[in-house]
Structure 1
Amino acid sequence: MPDLPPSPAWYPDPQDASLLRWWDGTSWTAHTTPAHTPSVPLATAGTAATGTSAPSSVATGTSAADSGIARRRPWWVTALIAVGVILLGGVLARTTPVLLALAVVAAIGVAVYVFVRGSAPRLRMRSRASGLLALGTAALLVFGGGAANGATRPANEATAVSATTTPHAFVAPTPTPTPIPTTFEDIDVTTTIPFERSTVDDADRDLGTTEVVTAGVDGTKVTTYRVTKVGGKETGRTVVKEVITLPPVTEVTAHGTREQQAAPPAPFTAQEEPSGQCDSNYADACVPIASDVDCAGGSGNGPAYVQGPVRVIGQDIYRLDNDGDGIGCE
Structure 2
Amino acid sequence: MTYPPPQDPWHGQAPPPPPPPQQPTAQFGTVPYPTGQYPATLPQQSWWRRLSRGAQIAIVTAGVLMLCCCGGVAIGAVTDPPANTGKKDAAPATSAPNGDEAAAPAPAVADVASPTAAASPSEVAPSESPSPQVETRTVTATEKIAYSTRTVKDSSLPEGTKKIRTRGVAGVRTLTYQVTVTDGVQTGKKLVRSVVTKAPVTQVVAVGTKQTRQCDPNYSGACVPIASDVDCAGGSGNGPAYVRGPVRVVGSDIYDLDRDGDGIACD
Note whether the superposition's TM-score is higher than 0.5: no
Q: Which has the higher helix share?
A: 1
* TMscore range, shorter length: 0.3 to 0.5
Greater Rg over alpha carbons, structure:
2
* TM-score in terms of structure 1 length: 0.28
* TM-score in terms of structure 2 length: 0.35
Larger RCO (alpha carbons 8 Å, 6+ apart): 2
